[in-house]
Amino acid sequence: MTEVMETLPTSVQSLIQEVEGKLGSRTKLARMFANCFSNTLTTTLKPQPDGAIFVITGDIPAMWLRDSAAQVRPYLILANEDAEMARLIEGVVKRQIQHILQDPYANAFNEHANGKGHQDDLTEMTPWLWERKYEIDSLCYPIQLAYLLWKTTGTTSHFDEAFREACFSILQVWRTEQNHDQQSSYRFQRMDCPQSDTLLNEGKGTPSAVTGMTWSGFRPSDDACDYGYLIPSNMFAIVVLDYMTEIAIEVLGNQELAKQAAALRQEIQLGVEQYATVEHEQFGKIFAYETDGLGGYNLMDDANVPSLLSLPYLGCCKLDDPIYLNTRRFVLSEDNPYYFVGTAAQGIGSPHTPENYIWHISLAMQALTSQDEAEVERLLNVLESTDAGTDFLHEGFHKDDPSEYTREWFSWANALFSELILTYCGFKVPSSMNARSI
């Protein structure tokens, strides 16, 4: 790590040393932070000739719109004082916007038009696309990152004509998908795969009613939705539409964009208010994970963000919101089918990984959204003891044996852990949870 440290920007080195000082005797936690915080910088960034930056997710050589935003967000803490760091984040935003304009329905992209990835999927693939699973959050994260960069540094150069076009493209997709069954041409099928990797009904997905919310084919785990209205992603979209409206008014001076974004935000909000909650016999009124608007509800939570657990982190509600607190008790219990309790840890996993595998992302998110200092300390201890001796975090690990894990190189998990440690040490990491006070 010493050699790596010497190649890092001075601002990054200084922050790592400052965190080490604050963690004191917790030397392993400090070492994990140093490794995880520098991981995205040292292993995943690929600068392009036009100033854009392509970001691989880790052990998969493709750029996910969601992951790439989450991977660089911890560096926002340095962007106001370090112009190079600000340019790096702006380069990521630039590449994300380019990809949205290539295809707003795609979730993951190639560095070049090389035809890598899932080219045999039955959907409108191009050589630029690694995968074309439509996920609402893929369009939310780039707008969130662009907004936070503006609020953190004051820079507006990334709000150019391409950004404006991407905003209108996002609005068009979200409006179309408010009535997916009747208005959308999006289809997705993958042959010879688990059911979670493809959409039923000849690639159209299960039936859904018009609710005001916007439809999503897949979850942020890249697993197919059981029901098309993914509640945490719709709630994240509401937050992002607020950002888009503010950018349109304050920076772009585009009243039409502001008008359309605000109107769509209101429609999705009304849909959430009408369809997103259920009365649980044990936990009271809680948010469902998915619904179809036809009476079907999926009560669960997944480790991937947006999740129900992450709602305050995404700026969707306050930490002390009563419905959120009820929901939190539900998702952190074995009533959630993906909450696993073992001898090494207990926490939320995902149908994306084997049964009984807990995700480091969910443990970090549980700590970031906790108001209980004892809970945070316990979760830090769990994160520290479940790295399988690697000093990095992973995707999922077995609840009884952390040496059994998926994805040794998973930059998103390392980045979210870095955010947690920075927050724990008293640094204010820009996020939707505190965007208004940046």
379 falls within a domain? no
Task: Calculate ∠ Cα 381-64-237, nearest 5°.
Answer: 85
14 falls within a domain? no
383 falls within a domain? no
Q: Output the 3-class SS for 88-116.
A: HHHHHHHHHHHHHHHCCCCCEECCCCCCC
pTM of the model: 0.97
pLDDT of residue 431: 83
pLDDT band at residue 6 under the 50/70/90 scheme: low
- 363-384 tens-digit pLDDT: 999 999 999 999 999 999 999 9
- 277-286 tens-digit pLDDT: 999 999 999 9
Q: Is 262 in a helix, a strand, or coil?
A: helix
Write phi, then psi, for 398 (nearest 5 degrees): -70, 135
Range of the structural domain that residue 120 is part of = 44-308
342 falls within a domain? no
| CATH at residue 55 | 1.50.10.10
How far apart, in whole angstroms, are the C-alpha atoms of residue 244 and residue 160?
A: 13
Among residues 296, 369, 270, the alpha carbon closest in space to that of 327 is found at: 369
Per the structure, the count of domains in the chain is 1
195 falls within a domain? yes
CB 85 within 8 A of CB 11: yes
396 falls within a domain? no
Task: Calculate ∠ Cα 215-267-318, nearest 5°.
Answer: 90
pLDDT band at residue 432 under the 50/70/90 scheme: confident
72 falls within a domain? yes
How high is the mean pLDDT of the chain? 96
425 falls within a domain? no
**Strand-pair category, 129-131 with 108-109:** antiparallel
